[in-house]
Structure 1
Amino acid sequence: MNLTVKDKILISTFAALTAIGAFIRIPVPYVPFTMQFFFCSISAIILGAKKGALSQLLYVLIGLIGIPVFTRGGGPQYIFQPTFGYLIGLILSSYIIGKVISKKKNSFKNVFLANIIGVIVIYLIGVPYFYFINKYYLGANISISFAIYYGFLLTIPGDIVKVLITSLVGVRLTSSLNHEIVA
């Protein structure tokens, strides 16, 4: 993929916005409630699948090289944090949101559906990672039901609100920019 200077600036901007989103948070037990998904989704809506995913990959790589852009710092050791799976999920989520939207009309319903799918993708990666790191790396005596409750069920109400807001903002932004979404 050939990236223009404009593409590189936008990808970097969304990586930075996602980093900022990590620090806009509501503390809940085990998995913090942040605004990272908001910027992950908006990157996919505006940049498309590939460039949106690149912005999230850049965000994760910046954190892994040691810049403290994650909710609990940064560095290569962060892969051993129970919540790192959610960060991996952001990359795939952004790609899938962009793909789903590119195949449908830019309407609230379609963007909402894409965002729901994106959140599900994050949890499909994040919850098992949360469980395995806690259980087998940290030696915590947790069950799968514990991981599902704290890593998923507890956050559903907030995620529904985030998906609604993100969908409204995403549709508004694309129509304001008079922008055709391209994946």
Structure 2
Amino acid sequence: METVSKANSTWRTIDLAHCGLFATLMMIGANITSFAPFLVVGGVPITLQTFFAVLAGLVLGSRKGAIACTVYMLIGIAGAPVFAKFSGGFSSVLLPTFGFIVSFIFSAFVAGWIVERYKTLPSYIIAALVGTAINYVFGTNWMYFAYTLWAGAPEGFTYKMVWLWMVAPIPKDIILAIFAGFFAYRLQKVLKIIPIK
């Protein structure tokens, strides 16, 4: 009984470490624009958050990947400067771009859910691309409704304009998603973090 309890305790500690690691990676990825301020288009920072969110799901699985992204979001809401441009605090919830932060949770969960069931290299790449697509669809629509309902929309604002803002980061995130798929597949074969069912 003691041996089982100790094993369960060790597994829980590892889970926390994994989630903490990816939450930290997202904090780092969020603030790349601090060193390259020109990587901001239409008020949307071009960051590595989507890459790390999708990677969390691919490497940790649906549950732990989503938890890692949730921890990151809650730390930021609590006031730590972990969002893009070292921002944070509860007021971030009202920002038009906050939908992208929420979407990381869904992106990680769905990407993880796919690779928990299909463990081939194409599945990892597809899962990464699906996770990235979720990030864009959820985040962009949130931003549109935010500008429409409570944030001050720029002159001539339209739904098409919101998606035009996304044109700049899309190629980068597609390339990173494919890389995440390759990387996570190789990493999973070594670490075997996601149990084979």
Q: TM > 0.5 between the two?
A: yes
Q: Aligned ranges for residues 153-168 of structure 1 at < 5 Å?
A: 153-168=167-182
Runs of 4+ in structure 1 over 4 Å off? none
**Candidates 113, 117, 129, aligned match of 1:99:** 113
Q: Name the counterpart of 2:124.
A: 111
C-alpha distance in 2 between matches for 1:5 and 1:180? 13
Do structure 1's residue 71 and structure 2's residue 71 form an aligned pair? no
Do structure 1's residue 8 and structure 2's residue 16 form an aligned pair? yes
Q: Name the counterpart of 2:61.
A: 48
C-alpha distance in 2 between matches for 1:43 and 1:182? 15
Contact 1:47 1:182 in 2 (8 A): no
Do structure 1's residue 33 and structure 2's residue 46 form an aligned pair? yes
1:57 maps to a residue whose letter is T
Alignment size in residue pairs: 179
Q: Aligned ranges for residues 162-181 of structure 1 at < 5 Å?
A: 162-177=176-191, 179=192, 181=194
Do structure 1's residue 128 and structure 2's residue 136 form an aligned pair? no
Instruction: Please give the root-mean-square deviation of Cα atoms over the aligned residues, in Å.
Output: 1.8
Structure of higher CA gyration radius: 2
Contact 2:55 2:184 in 1 (8 A): yes
Contact 1:57 1:91 in 2 (8 A): yes
Do structure 1's residue 145 and structure 2's residue 157 form an aligned pair? no
**Candidates 23, 28, 31, aligned match of 1:23:** 31
- TM-score, normalised to structure 1, is 0.90
C-alpha distance in 1 between matches for 2:120 and 2:138? 27
C-alpha distance in 2 between matches for 1:28 and 1:144? 19
Give the percent of matched residue pairs that are identical in Structure 1 and Structure 2. Answer: 30
1:161 maps to a residue whose letter is I
- TM-score, normalised to structure 2, is 0.84
1:101 maps to a residue whose letter is V
Contact 1:67 1:75 in 2 (8 A): yes
C-alpha distance in 2 between matches for 1:153 and 1:11? 31
Structure 2: runs of 5+ lacking an equivalent:
1-8
C-alpha distance in 2 between matches for 1:18 and 1:106? 26
